[in-house]
Structure 1
Amino acid sequence: MSSDGSMRYITISGFGGPDVMQMATGPRPRPGPGEILVKVAAAGINRPDVAQRQGQYPPPPGASQVMGLEVAGTVVETGAAVTEFAPGDRVCGLANGGGYAEYCLLPAGQALPVPDGMDDVTAAAMPETFFTVWANLFQMAGLTEGESVLIHGGSSGIGTTAIQLARAFGATVFVTAGSEAKCEACVALGASAAINYREQDFVEVVKSLTDGRGVDVILDMVGGAYFQRNLSALAKDGCLSIIAFLSGPKADSVNLGPIMAKRLTVTGSTMRPRTEVEKRQIRDELREQVWPLLAKGAIKPVIERVFAFEDVVAAHRLMEDGSHIGKIVLSFE
């Protein structure tokens, strides 16, 4: 890292495939009020990064144009009014952008201490998925002890996090995944049943597993292609929480009758547009209720592979390939 106030970061030459990403050098950001500057040791890769690279997920106004939504490292500078962190603290956090860089700004309310004994790569694999799962599965869908949940994409970064958190808080977990190896990985993490969606109809299997009742909550990242079937798989008073549209955002010829007949709730959100106040509230709940579980090893991020910062193109190719189980992380060390 340069001592002249500059840093390396990943830029793009234009919207497109992984090859548009390239290394660049520019000035380090300076923290404003309520911000901390982190010397990045590791950064997680997420599907929103891929969407941004493709021109489908622009940063919010005022955010860095550099990709990257989660980092772990060491605080090197704090802005005005920051009292909960100081230079030298090890932190991980949810960035509004700028994570694919040697230095990244974090709003202090979106940062968390790295649990004792945890390395930076593991810490960098947590913020985006933990914030997303907590907000959508627990805050919005209201999953509680004794209920059942179906998690689509169970072997993804989101899925592996959701399985562990749902089990930790007393829910029965079912998942869908696209191969036997992925199904086995989900069961090993705590899923009661894993459904290979390439070979089985998840609606029929869920009905069989629940004696015809259906599940209380569905966490969905598939979108339009699953919408009608999700309604069928929900129990009375159930909730469908949508967090992504891997099959597209439109569902054709949908019968909305089950929503009324079963008193269903359909909700969803994206994390990036949420306000700093909202993200701080999620952060505070994670710190109080989830961080103790991480500290004692009851839950832990699943990491498929770690790439060097310079190998970001290969890392994105693996993300797009979809064969991974858990998270993909960039290491800056």
Structure 2
Amino acid sequence: MKAVVLTKPTKAEAIVLSEVEVPTVKPGWVLVKIKAFGLNHSEQVLREFEIENDYINKPIIPGIECVGEIADPSDSGLKIGQKVVALMGGMGRSFGGSYAEYALLPVHHVFPVESNLSWTEMGAIPETYFTAWGSLFQCLRLTPDDKLLIRGATCALGYVAIQLAKALGCKVVGTTHKDDKLSLLEQAGCDERILDDGTIKGKVSGVTKALELVGIKTLRDTMFALDEGAVVCNTGVLGKVYEWNGFDPIKDIPNGVYLTGFFSNYPKQKMIQDIFSFMDEHHLKPLIGATYDFEHIKDACIALDSGKVNGKIVVEV
């Protein structure tokens, strides 16, 4: 099969397809014929520097999500040809991921789904929609009465969060640090748009829930911009600050403001199907910024690294 295989830090421009053996099936694992997969910033992090860490099982096929069909169910009870979604659980780090024609995946992170969406549309959902869904509903307990702030709203995850929150009936405030993207937030459905210069305190009011996608770089400012009783979910790391050194929860979390975070490594069958059901019920289509065929995976990764694609990048296999 064809696959991207990495052994060291690799720029997007240097990515090539290699010929490798189709993985051999073993108990507790299933072989999935990949139909499509989305690209994620964590894969860029892997390529740029994370691959040097000992916990990355090199050589590694990257990719933390995919959609496809069961090619060999092993002892899973799944059926050949069954439509499935797979994400996280070590994909693309501990074992081979989705930048390939086939992937051998642990059955506990492979989820059968029912959907009328095309393979390409399905490919936009797993990681991004799961992360948005978990952040909004599991962590923020979002309701139609909430006013939601999304800081860093013009990333793929931000657009999905806007879509889901507006479908639920919420008012949404979105921020971007680029003036030319304010119009995109309006088109996406944001009721209010803020040009983010690093400080939003005094620029928002009435926000009850906040989704922090820039991350630690702006998290403290986000919390201090909100009224008592608001809840903040830290999910993203767009600001590329990964640890909060010197964090003091007594001083750095305002009185009466609540902080939580979403870690997407533990998807469950019910949540995955709930997402697809919600999409069907509200007649929503996944937000896709660009599509590439697998032969042009290098171009897809270049596009990801550029940050110029507005929405999810999906690769069709």
For residue 204 of structure 2, the aligned residue among 197, 203, 206 is 206
Contact 1:59 1:65 in 2 (8 A): no
CA distance in 1, matches of 2:54, 2:261: 19
For residue 286 of structure 2, the aligned residue among 266, 287, 301 is 301
Q: Does 1:238 align with 2:230?
A: yes
Q: Does 1:316 align with 2:295?
A: no
Instruction: Give the secondary structure class of the aligned counterpart of 1:279.
Output: coil
For residue 257 of structure 2, the aligned residue among 252, 257, 264 is 264
Alpha-carbon distance, 1:157 to partner: 1.5
The size of the alignment, in residue pairs, is 307
Contact 1:224 1:249 in 2 (8 A): yes
Contact 1:44 1:71 in 2 (8 A): yes
- Residue by residue over 1:145-191, the C-alpha shift from the partner in whole angstroms, topping out at 9 and shown as x without a partner, is 31122112222211111111222333321111244553333333332
What residue number does 2:183 align with?
A: 184
CA distance in 2, matches of 1:219, 1:17: 30
CA distance in 1, matches of 2:123, 2:135: 20
CA distance in 2, matches of 1:63, 1:113: 31
Question: What letter matches 1:99 in structure 2?
Answer: S
CA distance in 2, matches of 1:192, 1:173: 5
What residue number does 2:104 align with?
A: 105
Unpaired stretches in structure 1, ≥5 consecutive residues:
1-6
Contact 2:224 2:254 in 1 (8 A): no
Alpha-carbon distance, 1:137 to partner: 2.4
Unpaired stretches in structure 2, ≥5 consecutive residues:
none
Change (3 A) 1:121 1:225: same
Alpha-carbon distance, 1:34 to partner: 4.2
- Residue by residue over 1:122-162, the C-alpha shift from the partner in whole angstroms, topping out at 9 and shown as x without a partner, is 11111001221222222123223311221122222111111
For residue 70 of structure 2, the aligned residue among 69, 75, 82 is 75
Q: Does 1:170 align with 2:163?
A: no
Contact 2:289 2:313 in 1 (8 A): yes
Alpha-carbon distance, 1:294 to partner: 1.9
- Residue by residue over 1:34-54, the C-alpha shift from the partner in whole angstroms, topping out at 9 and shown as x without a partner, is 433221121110001101111
- Residue by residue over 1:304-328, the C-alpha shift from the partner in whole angstroms, topping out at 9 and shown as x without a partner, is 1111212222212211211211101
Instruction: Give the secondary structure class of the aligned counterpart of 2:230.
Output: strand
CA distance in 2, matches of 1:63, 1:108: 22
Q: TM-score, normalised by structure 2?
A: 0.85
CA distance in 2, matches of 1:284, 1:59: 34
Question: What letter matches 1:259 in structure 2?
Answer: I
Change (3 A) 1:185 1:71: same
Contact 1:41 1:120 in 2 (8 A): yes
CA distance in 2, matches of 1:19, 1:62: 23
Contact 1:31 1:105 in 2 (8 A): yes
- Residue by residue over 1:267-293, the C-alpha shift from the partner in whole angstroms, topping out at 9 and shown as x without a partner, is 22432xx3xxx422xx312313x3223
Contact 1:182 1:325 in 2 (8 A): no
Q: Percent identity?
A: 25
CA distance in 2, matches of 1:226, 1:77: 46
- Residue by residue over 1:180-214, the C-alpha shift from the partner in whole angstroms, topping out at 9 and shown as x without a partner, is 5533333333321222325x95333313xx3xxxx
Alpha-carbon distance, 1:20 to partner: 3.8
CA distance in 2, matches of 1:65, 1:31: 17
Alpha-carbon distance, 1:61 to partner: 7.4
Q: TM-score, normalised by structure 1?
A: 0.81
Change (3 A) 1:322 1:134: same
- Residue by residue over 1:215-256, the C-alpha shift from the partner in whole angstroms, topping out at 9 and shown as x without a partner, is 222212222331221112222122222223232135588785
Contact 1:150 1:173 in 2 (8 A): yes
CA distance in 2, matches of 1:201, 1:180: 15
What residue number does 1:291 align with?
A: 276
For residue 328 of structure 1, the aligned residue among 296, 313, 316 is 313
Q: Does 1:26 align with 2:20?
A: yes
CA distance in 1, matches of 2:82, 2:147: 39
Contact 1:223 1:250 in 2 (8 A): no
